[in-house]
Amino acid sequence: MVGKWHLGVGLNGTYLPTRQGFDKYLGIPYSHDQGPCQNLTCFPPDVKCYGHCDQGVVTVPLMFNEIIKQQPADFLQLEKAYSEFASQFINVAVQNKSPFFLYYPSHHTHYPQYAGTDYAGKSPRGPFGDALMEFDGTVGKILKTLEETGVINNTLIFFTGDNGPELMRKSRGGNAGLMKCGKGTTYEGGMREPAIAYWPGFIQPGVTRDLASSLDILPTFAKLAGAPLPKAQLDGVDMTDILFNKGPSKRQAMFYYPIDPSEKYSVFAVRWKNFKAHYYTRGAAHSESTPDNNCSLLAFLKHHDPPLLFNLEADPSENYNLDGTEWDPVRKQIQTIKEQFEASMVFGESEISKGLDSALEPCCTPSCTPKPECCHCTSAL
């Protein structure tokens, strides 16, 4: 696993990738804005990162397995280190004739934007474009390694996002197009992601409009690998019929939770086929810079009874509520699906609600003082 691991470190490293099934890891164990960045260099020769990011905590560490190699991480060299790590991993696996799984969640194009010397100033769209170009470059180098090692035709490549675009500030580059609002909301702009599956000789070129989710990746990969699924109730379904046969999706419904899910409010929205019902709506700080007042942080939590209903096929922007009685059968069907799902839903213990403990902040020199400023080190990868 290489890149952004957004589960953090945990007590004695219990959350790290190496404790969650990955053999090797190079990356930042959370988002690269979760540490002071105003004095860090994001673009050469010494252009400081735009903004302040999180304050009063340690700078972001770059970790190899469970050891901090750099603190703060060198943004100018980060993608180069990632692509070299990924290429070496693939080369060794091919030499050993071993099947492999490489997971690369990029920091790009999350704020703050950054890019190394090969990409800084090279795009026509400023810092956001440079960051996107560098991301594209890393993906390209991984694909080139697959080609050079002769396994490109025996490798499934799956690309997707993790949430809708940030619309907090126009300078950050986010754009949801026709979709309503953006990151942090349960509107389509906050939940839809790009997805590309590539496997020459197995996946035929084309586009599918069938419903799928990142939750479906686990059961799909497990089936292809011949691996047993964990003995737990999963929300994902197998996507192989969509990918290889251009067949229909096994997924008929999607359940939308807010960024702070709770048993009190439960599901905010439910999609069934092309219809989507909103039981609760709320804006978000990450969707602040849009003329739609429904997206703003000032668009407080609102309960809808009956729920708002949209046909996403005809109205992807969720502008026209289907409030006529002729749509009651659709609402009833969605309500039944919602109730069945909620009856089987068990909320786990929230790790975030446990609160803060500064002693758990990763520091490459644990006994140094004063913290967090003294946590600073650099070593060869």
Neighbours of 6 (CB within 10 A): 13
Short-list 311, 319, 187, 357, CA closest to 259: 187
Question: 63: which strand partners?
Answer: 27, 68
pLDDT (mean) for 15-41: 96
Residue 211 resides in a domain: yes
Q: How confident is the model at residue 42 (pLDDT cuts 50, 70, 90)?
A: very high
Classify residue 94: in a domain, yes or no. yes
- Kindly state whether residue 7 falls inside one of the protein's structural domains: yes
Q: For the chain, what is the domain count?
A: 1
Which pLDDT belongs to residue 291? 87
Average pLDDT for 347-371: 89
Containing domain of residue 22, as a range?
A: 2-251+350-378
Asked whether residue 16 is domain-assigned, the answer is yes
Averaged pLDDT, 254-263: 94
Evaluate whether residue 264 is within a structural domain. no
Mean per-residue pLDDT for 362-380? 91
The tens digit of pLDDT for each residue in 83-108 reads 999 999 999 999 999 999 999 999 99
Residue 6 maps to a domain: yes
- Is 271 within a domain? no
Give the pLDDT score at 173: 73
Pair 156, 250: CB distance under 8 Å: no
CATH of residue 205: 3.40.720.10
For helices 75-95 and 126-148, the axis angle rounded to 10 degrees is 20
- The reported pTM is 0.93
Which pLDDT belongs to residue 1?
97
135: amino acid identity, one letter: F
Residue 9, domain member (yes or no) = yes
Backbone dihedral angles phi then psi of residue 285, each to the nearest 5 degrees:
-60, -35
User: Which has the higher per-residue pLDDT, 351 or 91?
Assistant: 91
* Structure confidence at residue 349 as a pLDDT band (50, 70, 90): confident
Residue 170 predicted with pLDDT over 70: no
Does the pLDDT value for residue 171 go beyond 70? no
Is residue 353 very low, low, confident or very high in pLDDT (cuts 50, 70, 90)? confident
What digits encode the pLDDT tens for the residues 204-216? Answer: 999 998 999 999 9
Residues 6+ apart with CB under 8 A from 100: 89, 90, 93
- Report whether pLDDT(192) > 70: yes
pLDDT in tens, 310-345: 999 999 999 999 999 999 999 999 999 999 999 999
Residues β-bridged to residue 70: 62, 378
